Amino acid sequence: MIKNILTQIWNQRRTNSWLFAELVIVFVLLWFCVDVLYGLAFARLHPKGYDQENVYKITVKSRDDQFVKMQNADSISLFWWKPLTEVIKNFKQYPGVESVCTSFGTDAYSNSTMFQGYHVDGDTTNILGANIRYVDAEYIKTFRIPMLHSIHKNLKDEDWNAINNVNPAIVSAELADSLWGTTNVLGKKFSDYYSPNLHYKVIAVSAPQKNSDYNRYEPYIMTPYPEIANKSQAIPSIYIRVKADADNNEFANSFIKTMSAKIHIAPFYIFDIQSMKYCKQLDDARQGVTQEVNNTILMMSFFVFNVFLGLLGTFWFRTNSRRGEIAIRMAMGSSRKQIAVHFLTEGVLLLTIAFLPAAIIALNIWNADLTVTMHADATVLRLIMTLIITFILMSFITLIGIWIPSNKAMHILPAEALHEE
């Protein structure tokens, strides 16, 4: 049957040429739309490298009327960091709180970023920029950061201490691979390019990290607070992980109400508490990500819908114009099922033939790096998957456009259909 259909397609090549050209053009345009949406979905569904579920960010500020500018390191330690540590200690004692951590530097879903250059000891020719995040020992536990390699299954507090002026460091898979060409780099040493006296030793390699849902993975380093942090009157980002059974819609309000009444440690007070989910919504709105994604999805969906209507109309008209052929086939004894299979197979074969040049055009677009790679790399897998998805969508549209008018035509008496012709 397929051979006969191919012969018929060839015999009607002059008529089919316009349909063939339309299928090729529409396929390429639809593929490009699918490729953009695939990139967004791929980035959105990829793990961020940490678990933000049941995590809250607490904003602590100092009262202006109680703030005293200090220059002496001992004074800062006694009248700033010691009271702040007491505040954090109170957070740990709140019912339902599983862990508390603090950090400086590049934080998820915030404008806070810190970037440094690093190089392998003895090699200053390969300088790699990376996000740096100064964290305490509880940070890994609070955000449940998965490790690809680690000196211990669960890092201990003592692992977070500098030895002989060499700071422990957790590097992301991207940073490890860029500096050493592998992720198995435990014990490797590297240095800060801009501060030559800062040296690091890898104690763990984390899973790939990214700052927000639609971002690419970036090189990261997590390391203890530098000495200079203890000499400044800064307030780190504070996060708490809440036990799943204690986390509910009222937790944030209850926490800030109870803690605000309980904590009277000058000069600090609790300004706000926000879930990481809410922080994500704020960050998306601030960066225009939500609007950008929604607009992209809306435009692509609108185009796909128009493609659907256009192809549907083309095949509807084509099938409708062949009612006489359907009547003749019925008069010669063909069943409705046989006629339906014939027309549907013909449509899929036409699409398959058009797929070959369309795929070559898509390959050239991909090879010329003209696809949208803002959110995900233009990999071979992405090309194959988007071509398959596009073919399935086009097949669905084609089959719908053939089935409805052909099914309608098959319910008309052959004599009536031939009379209309």
- Write down the domain spans for the chain: 2-46+289-420, 68-266
Nearby residues of 185 by Cβ (< 8 Å), 6 or more positions away: 149, 171, 176, 179, 202, 205
What global pTM score does this model have? 0.76
Indicate the pLDDT class of residue 414, thresholds 50, 70 and 90. low
pLDDT tier at 130, thresholds 50, 70, 90: very high
Q: For position 207, what pLDDT does the model report? A: 94
pLDDT higher than 90, residue 188: yes
Looking at residue 92, its pLDDT comes to 93
Cβ 20 vs Cβ 352: under 8 Å: no
The three-point CA angle 276-277-280 to 5° equals 85
Percent of the chain clearing pLDDT 70 (strictly above)? 88
What is the predicted pLDDT for the residue at 331? 67
User: Are the beta carbons of 176 and 205 closer than 8 angstroms?
Assistant: yes
C-alpha 271/C-alpha 376 separation (Å) is: 37
pLDDT for position 8: 64
Average pLDDT of the segment spanning 307-328 = 72
118 close to 193: Cβ distance less than 8 angstroms: yes
Q: Of 73-82, 231-240, 312-321, which has the strongest mean pLDDT?
A: 231-240
What pLDDT sits at residue 6?
Answer: 65
**pLDDT value at 281 more than 50:** yes
Tell me the range of 119-123, 226-230, 384-388 where mean pLDDT is highest: 384-388
Which of the pair, 293 or 88, is modelled with greater confidence? 88
pLDDT, tens digit (0-9, with 9 covering 90-100), for 262-274: 887 878 989 999 9
H-helix or E-strand containing 272?
strand 268-275
Q: What is the pLDDT of residues 59-100, one digit of tens each?
A: 999 888 777 787 787 788 888 888 899 999 999 999 999 999
In this structure, which amino acid lies at residue 375?
A: H
**Predicted local distance difference test score (pLDDT) of residue 323:** 66
Top pLDDT among 336 and 92 is at 92
Q: In this predicted structure, which of 148-152, 242-246, 332-336 has the lowest mean pLDDT?
A: 332-336
Provide the phi-psi class of 57: left if phi over 0, else alpha when psi is between -120 and 50, else beta. Answer: beta
Q: Check residue 413 and give its pLDDT.
A: 47
Residue recorded with tokens 């400086």 = 104
Residue 395 CA to its chain's centroid (Å): 29
Q: What is the mean pLDDT of residues 338-366?
A: 86
d(CA 178, CA 126): 9
pLDDT above 60: residue 420: no
Instruction: Find the range with the poorest average confidence among 23-37, 68-82, 168-182.
Output: 68-82
Least confident segment among 56-60, 219-223, 374-378: 374-378
Mean per-residue pLDDT for 178-206? 91
- What average pLDDT does range 379-400 have in this prediction? 90
Q: Tokens 């000495």: give the residue.
A: 227
Asked if 213 and 44 touch (Cβ cutoff 8 Å), the reply is yes
What mean pLDDT, rounded, does the chain reach?
84
User: Is residue 401 a contact partner of residue 46, using CB atoms and an 8 Å limit?
Assistant: no
Torsion of CA 66, 72, 73, 74, to 10 degrees: -80
C-beta separation of 326 from 410 below 8 A: yes
Return the minimum-mean-pLDDT range out of 13-27, 141-155, 363-377. Answer: 13-27
Given a cut of 50, is residue 338 above it in pLDDT? yes
Q: How confident is the model at residue 253 (pLDDT cuts 50, 70, 90)?
A: very high
H-type helices in 161-275, by residue range? Answer: 173-180, 251-262
Max CA separation in the chain (angstroms): 104
Q: How far apart are CA 283 and CA 239, in angstroms?
A: 17
Query: What would the two tokens of residue 119 be?
Result: 């190089």
Q: Give 23's pLDDT tier (boundaries 50, 70, 90).
A: confident
Which residues have C-beta within 8 Å of that of residue 40, sequence separation ≥ 6? 214, 293, 296, 297, 375
Distance between CA atoms of 329 and 338, rounded to whole angstroms?
Answer: 9
Mean pLDDT in residue range 329-355: 77
Which residues partner with 206 through β-bridges? 147, 172
pLDDT at 398 over 70: yes
Compute the average pLDDT of residues 19-44.
86
Mean pLDDT of 112-138: 86
The candidate with the shortest Cα–Cα distance to 407, out of 340, 333, 347, is: 340
133 within 8 A of 209, measured Cβ to Cβ: no
Mean pLDDT of 156-179: 89
b (16+ CB within 10 A) / e for 80-110: bbeebeebbebbeebebbbbbbbbbbbbbbe
Per the model's pLDDT, the better-predicted residue between 91 and 114 turns out to be: 91
- For the segment 387-409, the average pLDDT, to the nearest whole number, is 82
